[in-house]
Chains A and B, each alone.
Chain A
């Protein structure tokens, strides 16, 4: 059925209402919360007036689009505000609580699209409002008499910000902005191309110059030749044909000289045009992307407006008394960064309310004010960075508890921990293996883990710091860039392929001799300044065909670094640096180990961009596995002590459903000389076991189709395979799981979080 014109209009109206009402509701919430802390006076009156207007508008629009339920609730709310406006009713805590919870109901109704006013939800929201109104009215005149006149002192000029912007701004759907930004970023390719073009033309001009030089250098020879030719032409006995041919030859020589001159001058013109073009393109595109980037800047309040209500509701639920303050909402940040930050901030706020802040009673016992303070402060660090601080005055993070759990999760041992500062121990809560363990579920409750918060902020190019003490509470300090900068990258050659390494991850590019590489505690390192940095071969890390460049005794090394550590990577060649536009690999390849995406070079070629955090995360592993080739080449005294890879023809089957784990395990095993085959689940593994002989199975537990326990059981039941050693490698750490593993018939049970390959190799070697 084709919708009629009026239907269409109604639909559009509804969409517009939904969008508009959302913002109005947000504003009402903000005003109500402000009223809570606002002393009586002109400002209070202004807020009441504003709130009244907003509610009135919501009610009006709701009626226009037949949203009976919202209208029914807004109406009594408006009445109450009218009383307040007339000063017949004071904005008591009770009243504000009622209004906030009512507007929350309105928001819910809007979200679920429930329009019917005759529903229990609607009735139960209306009832207390009407009751309050009933109670308030007869007292009206009295109340009014009590209300003191606003004092002049509090009459400061303070026009609420949202009103100023409203008329000068245009509403644009965020998705359109994103599209625009994407288009603008595509222009970087144009910029690169125009530069490429200039380079190509310049090269052509140089060639032409060479040509013309050799041509005109022989000018005197030409003259002589011409003279001789003329003479020959004049000689008697030459046929007319011969004479004509000679004439033409002379003409051609002249023509070529002229053409060459013209070609050179034309090429010069094109070269200079192309130069201008490249420059003006670069500056125009620069300006365009700068403007586009500014377009994406949004005040923090646009994303974080809901926080006060969120804090308030959560505090009520958990029986905590919290005063939340939020400042710096007008500071602008790229909306893409804001969107990424929001979840992280919500998570930290929830942590603070749930676990950081104590109940009022406990606070009193600890000698604190029963009302806790929680704040979000946003400040500019410098022009390009913004700092967000979430502070509470709760009980802080207990380093002892973190220690206990860190040991349990296997990310640190007691000895290491004893050497760490309390601060450093607390930072362990960002560690991913810890956050998956029970501890973190204790500290974090719902939402995303702190490890994900950490990762998210790091990918945004930001940092997060934790300061905590049991007296002063906890402060999370997050620093993020204001806008998403165009990434720059260095082109490197590895195994005759080109890759991009993000410039911001590169500390320096150096050259070392193989003798500079030395083994420390089982892995290979070099010195970079005063730092001992583990070193690896990038071609091995990426599993590329090995290139032997025995000729060069100097190794090209990039020192990569982030807060989590450093890693030196050996590459074949370090080429130029340039702007790179990161493009994702598309829906088929959402996540590839060590690769973030691709970028398009000037000539249209795609080049993979390396994922430095992946590299760093696996740094220790690589240095042992992948540096060996280098060592062999530069065999020095110290290096001779390194044990050679034992050659073995033992066959190991690795079963894991994640590719990264398969690659890692295979690399570990292969570097120790085992022949390794991989399977992606138990079913595939069992099939392989039927076909080929293996000496050992290393399997994960959680896998689709057939999990590790089932696989183990199946192997034990099979007559031929019954004695095959099986090692279970897993992140499941409970005693129960371990027992299940043993019950299934596993020979060893290896916990992933304590995944140190030397341990694994020891276990493997005890079986084969």
Chain B
């Protein structure tokens, strides 16, 4: 309320009461009422028809110049990495392993895993990881920054973009929003054929 000023009251001709009034003459209760009514008129809901439509809690993150979303429920924690250890002789999408309070967690380079960046060179400088727990193991994904969490209506997620003609390769993509935000199913992502292959080595 503090931010609002009663400038409008200086222009009495626009006022809806019959007679022009001095500002000081508006009773305090009335002022509150007016402001409240106005704020209601101006307010726009962040999500349309929230109460009616099913929605999804998603978290959004930046990775280099890319933006991804994923279901918030799948996240275990966001962790700021101190020391990371590079493991040689691993495929390029294995970015590092970290010591997460005594547990060894493998960190995945998402861009390399999804062939978004082709080069074998590893991106450096990321210090945040999203940690997920999936089927008894922990895995992390390096990210640049967490943007935030929000609700988006399920209806605004387009699903058929990638899963046409029985292509099972993209099952880890939950869908794309109007703003071209790619929503990932992280658990399916962690069952990506490349990772399954890595896991199945005897």
Contact = CB atoms under 8 A, between A and B. Distances in A.
The answer to whether A and B interact is yes
Interface residues of B, number: 29
Contacts of B89: 542-543, 592-595, 659, 663
Given A588-B195, A604-B83, A544 B201 contact: no
Interface residues of A, number: 31
Contact of B88 (A186, A544, A591, A680): A544
A598 B104 CA distance: 8
Interface stretch (A225-233, A257-265, A507-515, A578-586): A578-586
B4 interface: no
Interface in B178-202: 195, 197-202
B87 A589 contact: yes
Nearest to A186: B102
Contact of B138 (A584, A586, A591, A595): A586
A657 B137 CA distance: 24
Interface string B16-60: 000000000000000000000000000000000000000000000
Given A606-B99, A680-B197, A586 B104 contact: yes
A176 interface: no
A589 B89 CA distance: 11
Contacts of B143: none
A497 interface: yes
A686 B117 CA distance: 21
Interface in B88-116: 88-91, 94, 97-99, 102, 104-106
Interface string A593-633: 11100101000111110000000000000000000000000
Contacts of A544: 88
A459 to B, nearest CB: 14
A612 to B, nearest CB: 14
A515 to B, nearest CB: 29
Given A592-B90, A606-B97, A659 B201 contact: yes
Contact of A585 (B86, B102, B106): B106
Given A497-B86, A543-B88, A606-B83, A588 B99 contact: no
Given A497-B86, A543-B88, A594-B89, A589 B106 contact: yes
Contact of A595 (B87, B99, B104, B202): B87
Given A590-B201, A606-B99, A584 B104 contact: yes
Nearest to B89: A593
| Most chain A CB atoms below 10 A, which of B102, B104, B136, B195 | B104
A583 B85 CA distance: 14
| Most chain A CB atoms below 10 A, which of B83, B97, B136 | B97
A588 B198 CA distance: 6
B116 to A, nearest CB: 17
A464 B97 CA distance: 36
B139 interface: yes
A605 B85 CA distance: 8
B97 to A, nearest CB: 6
Interface string B68-91: 000000000000001101111111
A186 B83 CA distance: 19
A268 B139 CA distance: 44
Nearest to B195: A588
Contacts of B195: 588
A159 interface: no
A153 interface: no
A608 B87 CA distance: 7
B90 A589 contact: yes
Nearest to B200: A590
A134 B135 CA distance: 59
Contacts of A768: none
| Most chain A CB atoms below 10 A, which of B89, B106, B138 | B89
Nearest to B96: A606
A606 B99 CA distance: 7
A591 B104 contact: no
Given A186-B102, A583-B104, A606-B98, A590 B87 contact: no
Contact of B87 (A583, A585, A680): A585
A210 B187 CA distance: 57
A659 B82 CA distance: 29
A587 interface: yes
Nearest to A606: B85
B198 A589 contact: yes
A595 B106 CA distance: 14
B86 A588 contact: no
Contacts of A657: 197
Given A587-B136, A598-B85, A604 B99 contact: yes
Nearest to A586: B104
A594 B88 CA distance: 8
A600 B85 CA distance: 11
A496 to B, nearest CB: 11
A240 B87 CA distance: 69
Contacts of A590: 198-202
Nearest to A610: B88
Nearest to A591: B201
Contacts of A594: 88-89
A591 B201 CA distance: 6
A592 B85 contact: no
Contacts of B138: 586
Nearest to B91: A659
A767 B195 CA distance: 35
A588 B137 contact: yes
| Most chain B CB atoms below 10 A, which of A583, A587, A588 | A588
Interface string A651-695: 000000111000100000000000000001000000000000000
A377 to B, nearest CB: 33
Contacts of A608: 85, 87-88
A588 B106 contact: yes
Closest 8 CB pairs of A and B: A587-B137, A542-B88, A606-B85, A588-B106, A591-B201, A593-B89, A605-B83, A606-B99
28 contacts: A189-B102, A542-B89, A543-B89, A583-B104, A584-B104, A585-B87, A585-B97, A585-B106, A586-B105, A586-B137, A586-B138, A587-B199, A588-B106, A588-B139, A590-B200, A591-B201, A592-B88, A592-B89, A595-B87, A595-B89, A598-B85, A605-B99, A606-B98, A608-B85, A608-B88, A659-B89, A659-B91, A663-B89
Given A583-B104, A598-B85, A606-B85, 10 more contacts: A585-B87, A586-B138, A588-B94, A588-B198, A589-B97, A591-B202, A598-B87, A605-B85, A607-B85, A663-B89
Interface of A: 186, 189, 497, 542-544, 583-595, 598, 600, 604-608, 657-659, 663, 680
